[in-house]
Structure 1
Amino acid sequence: MKTADLVRSAGRNAFRSRLRTTLTVLSLFVGAFTLTLTTALGAGVNDYVERQVATVSTGDILLVSPAAVVPEGDGPAEYDPDGREQAGAANPLGSGTLLNDDDLDAIAAIDGVQRVEAVSQIAVDWIAAGAGTGSSGSADAADRFEVTVNPTSSIGRSDLVAGAQLDAESGDAQVVLPEDYVAAFGFDSADDAIGATVTLGYTDVERASQETTAEVVGIARESLLAAGAGANAALVDEIADAQAVPGQPGAWPIAVATLETDADGAVSDETIADVKAELSASDLTGQTVEDQLGVIQTVINGIIGVLSAFAAIALLAASFGIVNTLLMSVQERTREIGLMKAMGMSNGRVFGLFSLEAVIIGLLGAALGALAAIGVGSAISAGASTLLADLPGLQILLFEPTTVLTVVLVIMAIAFVSGALPARRAARQDPIESLRYE
């Protein structure tokens, strides 16, 4: 029997008992459906996170903050007059301890660090379009909107819809506005907002209301890493100086260390590891943007792993179904097997015939499950796009052809392994005994 004849025969034999085969295919369908959806979920979320990292970071910065120190012994830690200052409130950017000038000098002295910039947190009360429209030169209250300034925007990057990135070297105040401020300020499009002037109101250290103006240089999408408006160093320094307590030593929750790059503009993993080790020796900790997102990805991958475990259980149950289906088929076709072997069919061909039947069942269940998952997943993604409008660019389920093909091949391999035992039993049958079987 030629290989083509073997495949055709296996295809026909697989559906001799249609009900039994259909139930086995359905069990594989459930596993393929679940596994395809979970892999698409992981691919979609991880793709979004990776694109966000590429957007806001060029890979050459470390976010540096004081290392968390666990007090030795029992009770509270003793006061150190030469130690670091403690933050007055919980800080989402780092620990409760603040960096000082000595820390910045220590960071700058590390080999591989090109420059260090301390990140100042500023509080802006409101923002309005124009350079002041009220009778007193300030914007009317009805035209003001609340705004938060991303602390790391002066040294980071934004996911721009229009315009350009902030110029850290410019002496003129610049802002990058979130996309939803375009319509609020009466602009027809994001491009129309570029070059416009906005007024920012804030409270200085003496609790007096102050205003300053800035030029809109870019419009940005909201993202995981760039919430709020962006402000360049000139604007941040102006407001930070007005809100700083006179005579108080410099203290910052976090600093950004820009690392030296190679000829290709990249930073090697070795350089990052060496800088992190030097920071650790100074009771500091450095994290890349990828490190900060590692926790998010770990949680996501953990959830996907649990969901994939359910798919694996379904596939395990389906594998027993394949074993049962083919064992019953071998028993029902005992005389047929004996006849084939008596006519010269080798043990290997018999084994191949029954193995192919298992693979065909696996292919059918996997293909139907994957196609159904793509159809249902596409509908879910379309519906979720409205619910996740605040995260533009997020495709919650991303069906990559190579991943779907891998799922199908894996299930076919599981089917082949499951069918190996019945196929081996069929191949080892004695033709004389088989022909006598009633």
Structure 2
Amino acid sequence: MFFTYLRRELRRRRKAALVVASGLALGIALVIVVNSVSAGMKQAQGEVLESLYGLGTDMTVTKAQEEPEEGGAVARPRFKFDASDGGEQSNDMLMVQGFETLSTSTVDTVARQDGVANAVGGLSLTSISVSGDFKPGEMKPAQPAQPGQKGSGGSGEVRGGGADFGVNSFTVFGTDVTEPELGPLTSSTLTKGRTFKTSETDAKVAVLDSAYAKKEDLATGDEVEVKGKKFAVVGIATADKGQPAANVYIPLKQAQTLADAKGKITTVYVKAADSQAISAVKDAIQKNVPDTTVTTSADLAKTVSGSLDTAAGLASTVGKWLSYAVLAAAFLVAGLLTSSAVSRRVREFGTLKALGWKSGRVTRQVVGEALVNGLIGGALGIAAGLAGAYAVTAVSPTLTAELGGGLRVAGPGGGGPAQDAAERTLDIALSAPVSLATIALAAALAIGGGLIAGGFGGWRASRLRPADALRRVE
């Protein structure tokens, strides 16, 4: 009897049911789209941080930046040439990025801290090669004095000559080949050849970034020169997201030897035993490892700016509040419409009560109708929300992420500890993934909306008396 009456009433009041369901559908669809876009924003921000850190890395430890002494000279590379005889000149230099290093013993100290699962060191370098030639100038004799002028025309002057030099630079990262699961190289996927063997701690082998290999027309089996030493290219790797950590990867021991930095590293990459305890691990390292700066993904996230950060802020604040406001308005309108519909059905419900229906049965009938309207609105809202999320993913708008704020991190393009994060700019394609949790939330909202609307109408229906129906009889 309940379902028969319910079906008949819904058929008889299609328009009213459609209005209530459409209002709920609009609010639910907006919630789905906003939650999906927010999830896409978080995913995009995660991609940015992964491209900066490397997969599996929770934090990095670098040398604390020291205030320069007053009047002290800033360390800069110096190239010296002997141009007395002219001719071709060249000078290769392999510099530690940032000119600040830590002792390799820092890795063991960090690894011993509570909550640290693993730690590995790396050395970030920049190779700069300057080559060219000097052309001596020619001495031109002085012109003889003209009649009427006193003295000669001078002792002559140098004309012509000059210098023509080219600069070639690329980044080098000394990686600990005994720990292949941690470090910047893990943020790239091997596409050709192989990666380092754990036994190649002092071997002259190299893995190249695919973009650099293409630019220099290098392939596996070729050789790449680093400060006059030739390294056999054993593999080509492609950065998964964003920029690569370096152009050339070589074993850490070789990098230390070539850069005259034996026993030195620039960065310690740390993996925490528990991802929920990263903050505690950071505090322990900062307390027990002096003169270091610890940077976590949360620290990096605070410095992400650009259109990605702006859009994420809008989605998490304006978007969510707007969707909740629309949803609340939809619930209110659905409740008022249901209550209004009950008012128009006074004669019907009064007659049913006169025939023996209890107030609870009338209330359940109204709530049942409203709940079905809510389920219909939920189905329409989920369909519209999925369509909206799919449209965002299909369009894939490109957002820009800039890492700034003066934070010194080990990032792509070399990962040097003194590399300013403000120079990092990445383009991220936005998607709007819809999770099962979001669908479950939409279903719960549909049921909740139906119950709220039914509550309005049920309360109104429960107050009706058989006498109310008689007043409406003409």
Write out aligned runs for 1:224-263 (5 A): 224=242, 226-229=244-247, 231-234=249-252, 237=255, 241=259, 254-257=267-270
In structure 2, the CA distance between the partners of 1:408 and 1:149, relative to structure 1 (3 Å rule), is farther
Inter-CA distance 106–432: structure 2 relative to 1 (3 Å threshold): same
Shift of 1:431: 2.0
Q: In structure 1, how many angstroms separate the alpha carbons of the residues matched to 2:428 and 2:280?
A: 35
User: In 1, distance between residues paired with 2:64 and 2:256?
Assistant: 29
Question: Where in structure 2 are the equivalents of 1:320-399 lying within 5 Å?
Answer: 320-384=332-396, 396-399=431-434
Structure 1 residues not aligned, in runs of 5+: 70-76, 90-95, 127-143, 188-192, 203-209, 260-266
1:32 aligns with 2:4: no
- Of 195, 200, 203, 1:172 maps to 203
Does the 8 Å CA contact 2:256/2:263 hold for their aligned counterparts? no
Deviation at 1:183, TM superposition (A): 5.9
Query: Quick check: 1:330–1:422 contact (8 Å CA) kept in 2?
Result: yes
Quote the offset at 1:368 in angstroms: 2.1
In the alignment, residue 249 of structure 2 is paired with which amino acid?
A
Match for 1:241: what amino acid? A
Alignment of 1:197 onto 2:222: yes
Q: Does 1:65 align with 2:62?
A: yes
1:218 to 1:303, Cα distance in 2 relative to 1, 3 A: farther
TM-score, length-normalised on structure 2? 0.62
CA–CA distance in structure 1, aligned partners of residues 195 and 427 of structure 2: 19
- What amino acid does structure 2 have at the position aligned with 1:120? L
The change in CA–CA distance for 1:254 and 1:345 in structure 2 (over 3 A counts) is same
The residue number in structure 1 matching 2:237 is: 219
| Number of positions where the alignment pairs a residue of Structure 1 with one of Structure 2 | 373
- 5 Å-filtered alignment, 1:100-179, equals 100-101=102-103, 104=106, 107=110, 110=113, 117-124=120-127, 148=171, 155-156=183-184, 157-160=186-189, 162-163=191-192, 164-167=194-197, 170=200, 171-179=202-210
Partner of 2:463: 428
Contact 2:122 2:174 in 1 (8 A): yes
Instruction: Check whether the contact 1:174–1:216 (CA below 8 A) recurs between aligned residues.
Output: yes
Q: Is the 8 A contact 2:121 2:175 kept in 1?
A: no
Q: Aligned equivalents of 1:9 and 1:68: distance in 2?
A: 77
Report the identity percentage: 19
- Corresponding residue for residue 12 of structure 1: 11
Q: 1:309: Cα distance to partner?
A: 1.5
Letter in 2 for 1:219: A
| The 10-residue stretch of structure 1 (280-289 or 26-35) with the greater mean CA deviation from structure 2 | 280-289
Structure 2 residues without counterparts, runs of 5 or longer: 78-97, 130-166, 178-182, 401-424
Mean Cα deviation higher: 173-182 or 32-41:
173-182
Contact conserved, 1:330 with 1:426, CA < 8 A, in 2? yes
Structure 2 distance, partners of 1:343, 1:400, is 49
In the superposition, relative to structure 1, how do residues 107 and 234 fare at CA in structure 2: closer, same or farther (>3 Å)?
A: closer
CA distance in 1, matches of 2:331, 2:217: 62
The one-letter amino acid of 1:256's match is: Y
Specify the code of the residue in structure 1 equivalent to 2:224.
T
Aligned-partner SS, 1:396: coil
**Structure 1, residues 330-376: CA drift from partner, whole Å, max 9, x if none?**
11111001112222223222222222333333333332232233234
Larger Rg: 2
Tell me which moved more, 369-378 or 281-290. 281-290
Q: Return the alpha-carbon distance in structure 1 between the equivalents of residues 264 and 114 of structure 2.
A: 24
Aligned partners of 2:9 and 2:211: how far apart in 1? 61
Shift in CA distance, 67/422, structure 1 to aligned 2, threshold 3 Å: farther
Q: For each residue in 1:38-84, what CA deviation from the matched residue of structure 2 results, as whole angstroms up to 9, or x when unmatched? A: 2222333445666885994336x641135799xxxxxxx8969xxxx
- What corresponds to 2:449 in structure 1? 414
Q: Distance in 2 between matches of 1:86 and 1:335?
A: 92
Distance 1:241 1:296, change over 3 A: same
Give the C-alpha shift of residue 290 in structure 1.
6.7
SS at match of 1:339: helix
Contact 2:28 2:381 in 1 (8 A): yes
TM-score (norm 1): 0.66
Gap change, CA 1:173 and 1:304, over 3 Å in 2? farther
Q: Partner residue of 1:304?
A: 315
* Structure 1 pair 367–25 and aligned structure 2 pair: CA distance change class (3 A): same
Partner of 2:141: none
CA distance in 1 between partners of 2:367 and 2:230 (Å): 77
Q: Which sits farther off after the overlay, 326-335 or 303-312?
A: 303-312
Root-mean-square deviation (CA, aligned residues, Å) is 4.8
The Cα of 1:391 is off from its aligned counterpart by: 8.7
Choose between structure 1 and 2: higher helix proportion: 1
SS of 1:64 mapped into structure 2? strand
